[in-house]
Amino acid sequence: MNVPLIVWEKWSDPFGQEMDDAKWTDYENQIDDPLDEIEYIDEDAHDPEYVPDMKEIKVIATPMGLMPYNELTAPGKIFNFWVGHTNFDITPNISKIMEESDGVEILDIFTRYRFRIGIGKCFSDSETMKLINDKIYTALKNE
Give the chain's radius of gyration (CA, Å). 23
What would the pLDDT profile of 42-72 be if each residue is shown by its tens digit?
555 566 666 666 667 777 677 778 777 666 6
CA trace torsion 123, 127, 132, 136 (10° rounding): -160
Q: Which residues of 104-137 are buried (b: 16+ CB within 10 A; e: fewer)?
A: beebebeeeeebbbbbeeebeeeebbebbbeebe
Residues pairing with 83 in the sheet = 9, 116
What would the pLDDT profile of 99-139 be if each residue is shown by its tens digit?
999 999 999 999 999 999 999 989 999 999 999 999 999 99
Top mean pLDDT of 14-28, 29-43, 75-89, 106-120 is at 106-120
Q: Can you give the residue ranges of every domain in the chain?
A: 6-142
Q: Is the pLDDT reported for residue 15 higher than 50?
A: yes
Q: Largest Cα–Cα distance of the chain, in whole Å? A: 77
> If you average pLDDT over residues 80-84, what whole number do you get?
90
pLDDT on residue 108:
92
SS3 (DSSP) at 104: strand
What pTM value is reported for the model? 0.62
CA trace torsion 42, 46, 49, 50 (10° rounding): 20
pLDDT on residue 28:
43
